[in-house]
Structure 1
Amino acid sequence: MKRRTFMKGAAAAGVSVVALSPGAALAKTTSLRIATWVPPTHHMTANTLPKWISAISDASNGELKLNIDPAPIAGPPEQYNIVRDGAADIAYHVAAYTPGPFEIARGVEVPFLSPNAEVGSMAAYDWYDRNIGFDAEFKDVKVLTVFVHGPGVLHSKMPINTLEDFANVKVRVGGGGVKMAEALGAAPVAMPASQAYEALQKGVADAILGPWESIKGFRLYEHVNHHLEIPGGLYTTFFAVIMNRAKYDTLPDEQKQVLADLGGIEGARILGKGWDDADVAGKASAADGAVISTLSDEEMVRWKEKVAFVEDDWVALANERGQDGAALLADLKATVEKYAG
């Protein structure tokens, strides 16, 4: 990487200067804090983010140092705000936890769309960047990349294989899953994934919608032993990896380029692959004797009919915001197919 002279100084860029060796050129290093809201044992803090961080460090010859905060400084819905306001340099924000501002981006959450997190993540970035552009809904921050988690699975204390089985079941859902759970006949309980363990423990919920990863990441195997896989996932979740815009503007051009190279579709691939690996580990952690089943073709037809409104509502919302919703949705599905192929 091109080195700049000491005379240009690190102070203006908010970075530190480190001597490599006596007489050697002085290299700038930039340290950035990444906020998180999951336990330290969760794959995001233990494996997935560290892999992304390592790739950035290698590409920058060690000049970009990203460090994950040792403890949360805010809850999941506040991640966008703490980055916007400069309390954290970088975070990953769940769009569904703050309904309203990011509704076009949340098109990637429609049912039965994403075969896995790697494909879904790359497709999400490509589709949104080409069609909308990140300054439209994320104008207060710098978006480095995006990702989605693996296909949403139904994990429960009791067997659920049909709509009749799901009727009136108290199910933990994310912010975007309330109407869908209601349409399927369940009783939704909306809360962040980090609260699912306690909800199951106390009987506030008897089932959760979540990727396989959550079984290990939040130790849910202690409370659920029935798992219903749904081809393409009943849903996924859109995460935006965001950076404080003022902090980003202070970076030297070569460091911005590293974040561009390891962000975008490549960053989506790395983070999505991390979630897929975590899904494999999560499935392996299911309780002894757990029953794992797949939604039958006959039931799939019924479930699709019940939640068809999700696509229709999103198309209508996109139209209201000046987009061609039907064309956007068609392009999204084609983009997923491209990366799946």
Structure 2
Amino acid sequence: MKRIVLCLTAVALLLAVLGPVPAMAGKTVNLTYSIFLPEKHAQAQAAIAWAKEVEKRTNGAVNITIFAGGTLTKGPKVYEGVVSGISDIGNSCFAYTSGRFPVMQAIDLPMGYPNGKVASRVANDFGLKHADQGLKDVKLLYVHAHGPGLLHTQKPVRTLADLKGMKIRSTGFSAEVVSALGGVPVAMGQGDAYEALKTGVVEGTITPIETLKGWKQAEVVNYTTECSAVGYTTAMYVVMNKAKWNSLSPAVQKIMEEVSAEYVDIHGAAWDAADEAGRAFTLEKGNEIIPLSEEENKLWAEKAQPVITKYEESVPNGAVYVQEIRDAIKKAE
């Protein structure tokens, strides 16, 4: 009897030191994860690594099956797919369901994001703070965002006068930016951009520089204009079905939140690495990167301001959100 008591005491002391073990006594929790990006894309790989880290830290209590490349739900359908339970977790862009997330769309405005790390930190902090604004039907795990969207063209654009009347592939707020700067926006996804540039359907594209390698667009453009003052981003969410989230143990929930917080910078670093690769690739192709003067950058920012003003005036508290993001960018730099 004394031996049994000693053994039980030793076990109790060990548990007190180690804390609660996240692995569940019952069945493993099986989750599905819909990712809109192709599996080999750096951001899809980061998302997959997040899932593997959750599995590892829960000691196998959670198993996540990945559906990349929109094989379970396409980009615009990912969010609704999570809400309805088609997938348990989803990764896509707020911009794909334009109008559904007016508060979150503030992140995508041409605020002059310097890089992916800053954009991801700002987007995540803003997203988590305002998750009750349109995201009540899911659990928001984290947000990340790409580096600054820049202008890539077939003929050099050194001033606004050079851009006037040029047909530029763009989407969402970036289309409004192109229009404000004097260009002609042409709505088109990345998948169609290469052929459109090659055949002259468009004369340029506004997009992160990573696409010059990732989508091989450096083969069909000749110049990149570093219009950093109007550098926009695209916020990408990772959300979970609310009922499924609520069914998890507090220990597993805590682990998922901890891993999510860590992966904001991992995604940001992946975006920046991809941008550097895109920059190197376009230079290898003999293309020119055109830096704008401080004066010209200021002029571009002034011309793009109506896009921000329109948002401020059309969304309740829009001006507050814009200022909040501006302050966050300065703090994160």
Q: Under TM normalisation by the shorter chain, which class is it? A: 0.7 to 0.9
How many residue pairs match? The answer is 312
Query: How far did 1:95 drift?
Result: 1.5
Shift of 1:210: 0.8
Which of 314, 335, 338 aligns to 2:328? It is 335
Q: What is the rounded CA distance, in whole Å, between the counterparts of 2:306 and 2:265 in structure 1?
A: 30
In the alignment, does 2:309 pair up with 1:304? Answer: no
Shift in CA distance, 140/177, structure 1 to aligned 2, threshold 3 Å: same
Aligned partners of 2:23 and 2:59 also within 8 Å = no
Q: CA offsets, 1:265-320, max 9 Å, x none?
A: x33222222211111122222252111111222221221121111221122123xx
Q: CA RMSD in A?
A: 2.2
Q: Find the counterpart in structure 2 of residue 272 from structure 1.
A: 268
- Asked if 1:186 corresponds to 2:166, the answer is no
Q: 2:21 — aligned with what?
A: 2
- The question of whether the paired residues in 2 share the 8 Å contact of 1:77 and 1:98 is answered with yes
Give the deviation of 1:135 after TM superposition.
2.5
Structure 1 residues 249 and 209: alpha-carbon distance in aligned structure 2, compared to 1, 3 A threshold: same
Task: Return closer, same or farther for 1:284/1:67 CA change in 2, 3 Å cut-off.
Answer: farther
Distance of aligned partners of 1:233 and 1:279 in 2 relative to their CA distance in 1, 3 Å threshold = farther
Residue 34 (structure 2) aligns with = 35
Note if contact 1:41-1:217 (Cα within 8 Å) is conserved in structure 2: no
Mapping of residues 249-268 of structure 1, within 5 Å: 249-264=246-261, 266-268=262-264
Deviation at 1:103, TM superposition (A): 1.5
Consecutive unaligned residues of structure 2, counting only runs of 5 or more, are: 1-19
What TM-score does the superposition give when structure 1 sets the normalisation length? 0.83
Percent identity between matched residues is 32
**1:61 is aligned to 2:59:** yes
Give 1:213 shift.
Answer: 1.6
Corresponding residue SS for 1:263: helix
Q: Give the alignment's TM-score, normalised by structure 2.
A: 0.85
Shift of 1:33: 2.6
2:159 counterpart of 1:162: yes
Indicate the structure (1 or 2) with the bigger Cα radius of gyration: 2
Letter in 2 for 1:69: F
Q: Deviations over 1:167-192 (max 9, x none)?
A: 22111112222222111111111233
Q: Which moved more, 1:158-167 or 1:144-153?
A: 158-167
CA contact (8 A) 1:93 1:241 kept: yes
Checking the alignment, whether the CA contact within 8 Å between 2:33 and 2:88 is kept in structure 1 is: yes
Letter aligned with residue 307 of structure 2 = V
Bigger shift: residues 112-121 or 179-188 = 112-121
Distance 1:249 1:71 in 2: 27
Q: Are the aligned partners of 2:194 and 2:217 in contact in 1 as well (CA < 8 Å)?
A: yes
